[in-house]
A and B are shown apart, each in its own frame.
Chain A
Amino acid sequence: MTVLLNVEDVHRHYSVEGKNEWLAGKSVLRAVNGVTLSVQRGKTLGLVGESGCGKSTMAKLVLGLIPATAGTVEFDGKPVTAKRNQAWRAARRHMQMVYQDPLGALDRRLTALEQVTEPLEIHDKQSEIHPTLTAQNMMRAVGLTDNLFQRYPHELSGGQRQRVVLARALVLKPSLLVCDEPISALDVSVQAQVINLLDDLRQQMNLTMLFISHDLRVVRHICDEVAVMYLGRIIEQGSAKEVLTHPAHPYTQALISAISTPGAKHALANSGRIVLKGEPPNPVNIPTGCSFHPRCSLATAHCKTSAPVTTRIGESHTVSCHLHTNIRHGTSD
């Protein structure tokens, strides 16, 4: 199994100006603060975390849409740059993205068919025999009926728009698909359909996916591996089954306990819903030591001063916490 995507200690910092014109001081916003992950060909990695943890920034870094402040991103063995030159544009054939807001991602002046045909026009000017036909086939493959081809984005429902975005992303048959919260903006009734569609397409086209979401239930359903992000760092990573049934980090535990599964009375009865104290974090002021310690009910003085290292606790399971052994074995303190 080859590694398709390899991200090595990548950082992305923004310098943020104060709110008042040119005179205020600057501070540093660390959106991504040292992330290492890899995805094997044909597998799906889920990236979860709260809003503001850096997931969307990771999506852009992986695709080379923004440059990394430090660290490397490698796709298929070759480094990914953010310089928008000819090579970068040609590389787009192999990696594509699905967006959170399908209406915003589509040009409202073009029909659905024109949107899906456009990548073919950009990339495949000579070799494509009949771009319209290819586009139409792709659109049928994502479940759009023929009568929708000539519709404009505002004439389609949310689910249909996302299918158009999907068709447009997949028409060039890329190897990597990055999904940035693809179903968050859709009605709940449509979400399941789109997720199933993604799953089917993934198998048929042997796609490698980076699936970004804040919804653990979806991640559980569709991902092989999971990485949990907090304040720009990955605090736990491993196979989806392993991490979601035996979480080793208190943050992951809190996230999982917030999922209410109908009928699973046991899960809630035993551990109870873990409520994190404090405010959601601000990536401009990252706490010292373990960045999670202000909200962690198990934090010790050690947690405040020194940052935990990533330790391997299972075959593919890693975690960044001083107290992980205690947590796993069910003891506290």
Chain B
Amino acid sequence: MGRYMLSRSLRALLTIFLVVGFAFTILRLSGDPAMMILSADAPPEAIAAFRKSWGLDAPLWQQFWGYLLNIVQGNFGVSMRDASPAMGLVLEAIPATLALALPAFAMNLLIGIPAGIFAALHRNSWCDRLVMSFSVAGHTLPSFVLGLLLVLIFAVSLGWLPSGGFSGFEHSILPILTLTVGGAAVLARYTRSSMLEVLGQPYIRAASAKGLRWSQVVIRHALPNAALPIITIAGLMFGGLIAGAVVVESVFSWPGVGRLTVSAVGNRDLAVVQAALLLITVSMVATNLVVDAIYCLFDPRLRASSTSHH
């Protein structure tokens, strides 16, 4: 277990390192940062001063090292728009994103998993087909279309809910709903196929042949075995929620990390983009690591193999 987690952690660090290197590389590749960040017709002395303060006239590896040091201290430079520290802006936007992502995640689990289990247990019945149709629909419906549709129906036509903004609980209903539909659809689908695979195994038949009631068979034998891949998917989906938030926040003018990133990209505000990129990467990698740990904890095969190696 220890070895497995160690190698997974190393891989995680490698991924983060790669992303940092990626950001650094394309930052340098995409043109002279001084020109980009200051502007093309800044006076030459200002450009030279900027270069010096950012260390742009130093050799490349030195620049990279300086870059790394800065990042580790949380210093990403300042935003173009209002000269406030980029990381600060990103951190400020996190609570708003979490206010959407966490409830949506919970709803995904609460709706998607039971739906998938139910569909698997009643395979090929009309319930199953219904769940699967919703699942396919939810999966292929783009989140911005869904969001706009919901706005059209609930805000414009019916007037029940506000169409955007941040000032109250009712403002978060539509965005959370939008995020939930896609995620729950995917989760339901994976849950169903994982359950079906487990239910088809010989040991399930053996368990019910032992005389156990079907509900007992499902709870004691099927669910724990199907749980593992479901947990993995659910964990990975959290990352997907962050990405999905990018679009949904823009649709609903929700001041979270996603909307911040989008506008930063539009303005070529590279400092903020880098900060957001790194933050999102780190949180995704951390989530994956947690999923790996849970996986390891619960899969006896992985635990056993790490000790039987003599």
Contact = CB atoms under 8 A, between A and B. Distances in A.
A–B contact via C-beta, under 8 angstroms? yes
Contact of A18 (B6, B8, B309): B309
Contacts of A18: 309
B301 to A, nearest CB: 10
A147 to B, nearest CB: 37
Interface of A: 18-24
A23 B9 CA distance: 12
The prevalent SS among residues of B at the interface is helix
B309 A21 contact: no
Nearest to A21: B7
B84 interface: no
Interface in B5-45: 6-8
A18 B309 CA distance: 6
B33 to A, nearest CB: 37
B3 interface: yes
A19 B309 contact: yes
B306 A23 contact: no
Contact of A22 (B7, B306, B308, B309): B7
B306 to A, nearest CB: 5
A19 B7 contact: no
A23 B306 CA distance: 11
Contacts of B8: 21
B240 to A, nearest CB: 26
B166 interface: no
Contacts of B7: 20-23
Given A20-B305, A21-B4, A23-B6, 11 more contacts: A18-B309, A19-B305, A19-B306, A19-B309, A20-B3, A20-B7, A20-B309, A21-B8, A22-B7, A23-B7, A24-B309
Nearest to A19: B305
Contacts of A19: 305-306, 308-309
Nearest to A285: B310
A23 B4 CA distance: 9
Nearest to B11: A21
Nearest to A24: B309
B258 to A, nearest CB: 34
Contacts of A21: 3-4, 7-8
A287 to B, nearest CB: 16
A69 B3 CA distance: 31
Residue from A19, A20, A21, A24 whose CB has the most chain B CB atoms within 10 Å:
A20
A216 to B, nearest CB: 34
Contacts of B305: 19-20
